[in-house]
Amino acid sequence: METNIRLTKLASCAGCGAKAGAGTLAQLLSGFKTHTDPRLIVGYDKSDDACVYVIDENTALVQTTDFFPPIVDDPFLFGQIAAANALSDVYAMGGEPKLALNILCVPEAMDKDAVHEILRGGYDKAYEAGAIIAGGHTIHGAEPIYGLAVSGFVHPKRVLTNSGARPGDILILTKPLGVGILTTGAKGDMVEPGVLARIYRQMAALNKAARDVLAEFPVHACTDVTGFSLIGHSFEMAQGSGASLHILTGQVPFHPEAWELAEMGFIPAGAYRNREYTAGGVHVKEGIPLAMEDILYDPQTSGGLLAALPEKEGMECLARLSDAAVEAAVVGYAAESGEYAIYLE
């Protein structure tokens, strides 16, 4: 859609780069008096992607919510990306999204056609996922914000969490990194249109195909890589699993154009929050370039899934992901818990 409004100019930060740091969240959520329920098998205390509540022996409810300010100027594309990002949390838990509610904030002066296109983009992705947007809530505010509250279902014995990685598992990532750096560079007109089109397609792509393949293998742990970056989400997986994760930096897929921008200093603020969150828990092998570190700390919007599974089955899974047109790669492995949660090699 053609629009005279550059949505990204209406926001102080973009996409999952707006996400509050994990360390900040831990402080905000500490000390609350809450109810307990044995049917709640995954809650916020797990630092996982969604909560999971068992309904019966064959069905568990998966619930999540995600929303953010514009990361692109096209309203329809913004709606698609925000919806894909929210739906991803259900996929990361091994679930199938079924119902969703719109979460929308619009400036009073914002063009109604632009608002319509944002919502149309969300409905487009929900339809692709097989989910129904059944309503929502809209408020006026200083900046546009859009996302979804999503409910899905999964078999209780097939729930994927971020805390089950085992020594010997390999780590598979299903989308390349660098989105945050590239969208930061785009604000300064430093990124070619063809590159932007490539990362926009990636951000708008559902993680459904990756989830469908992973569901056929003995995955021990899974999460989606979003605002906390590959290192931040790996850090949570390592802590939850009682293991150390070794990231093989030479095998991590990323958009090559992000490297030059990283060297020029086009780093989103969220990357610095991610560094602070994992400070003291990451060992960096001598010789790894700073630009590579910046890419690993880069907050991703609607990023890929990170899965830990046994090496033998993992290599077969990698081939199956390729057959499903998922751009996946082995990016590391899990080992016995060491001095550091994450080792960059």
Q: Could you please report the per-residue DSSP string of 100-148? A: EEEEEEE-TTS-HHHHHHHHHHHHHHHHHHT-EEEEEEEEE-SS-EEEE
- Decide if 317 is catalytic: no
Which of these, 41, 81, 22, lies nearest to 233 by C-alpha position? 22
How confident is the model at residue 45, as a pLDDT?
73
Nearest-Å Rg of the Cα atoms of the chain is 19
Which of these, 305, 302, 288, lies nearest to 233 by C-alpha position? 305
Which of these, 228, 241, 243, 345, lies nearest to 278 by C-alpha position? 228
Tokens representing residue 104 in the block: 């929308």
pLDDT of 16 above 60: no
Mean pLDDT of 224-241: 96
Cα–Cα distance between 216 and 222 in angstroms, integer? 14
SS3 at position 172? strand
pLDDT band at 2, cuts 50/70/90?
very low
How confident is the model at residue 1, as a pLDDT?
44
Cα–Cα distance between 159 and 337 in angstroms, integer? 24
- Residue of 13, 16, 105, 222 marked active site: 16
Tokens representing residue 13 in the block: 């930060």
The string of pLDDT tens digits covering residues 268-301 is: 999 999 999 999 999 999 999 999 999 999 999 9
Cα–Cα distance between 253 and 240 in angstroms, integer? 25
Paired strand residues for 333: 170, 246
pLDDT of 14 above 60: no
Cα–Cα distance between 234 and 257 in angstroms, integer? 24
Spell out the domains of the chain, with CATH numbers in brackets. 7-158 (3.30.1330.10), 169-344 (3.90.650.10)
Mean pLDDT of 291-312: 97
**What's the mean pLDDT when you consider all of the chain?**
92
pLDDT band at 138, cuts 50/70/90?
very high
Question: Are 200 and 72 a contacting pair, CB within 8 Å?
Answer: yes
How confident is the model at residue 47, as a pLDDT?
78
Least confident window among 24-38, 138-152, 188-202: 24-38
Q: Report which secondary-structure segment, H or E, holds 259.
A: helix 257-264
Cα–Cα distance between 100 and 126 in angstroms, integer? 8
The pTM for the full model equals 0.91
Mean pLDDT of 210-223: 98
Mean pLDDT of 145-167: 97
Mean pLDDT of 88-92: 97
pLDDT of 302 above 60: yes
Q: Is 287 left (phi over 0), alpha (psi -120 to 50) or beta?
A: left
How confident is the model at residue 187, as a pLDDT?
87
221-224 sheet: strands from edge to edge: 221-224, 305-310, 169-173, 329-336, 243-247, 342-344, 282-284
Mean pLDDT of 192-196: 97
Least confident window among 11-20, 59-68, 328-337: 11-20
Question: Are 68 and 301 a contacting pair, CB within 8 Å?
Answer: yes
How confident is the model at residue 72, as a pLDDT?
93
pLDDT band at 208, cuts 50/70/90?
very high
Q: Give 299's DSSP letter.
A: P
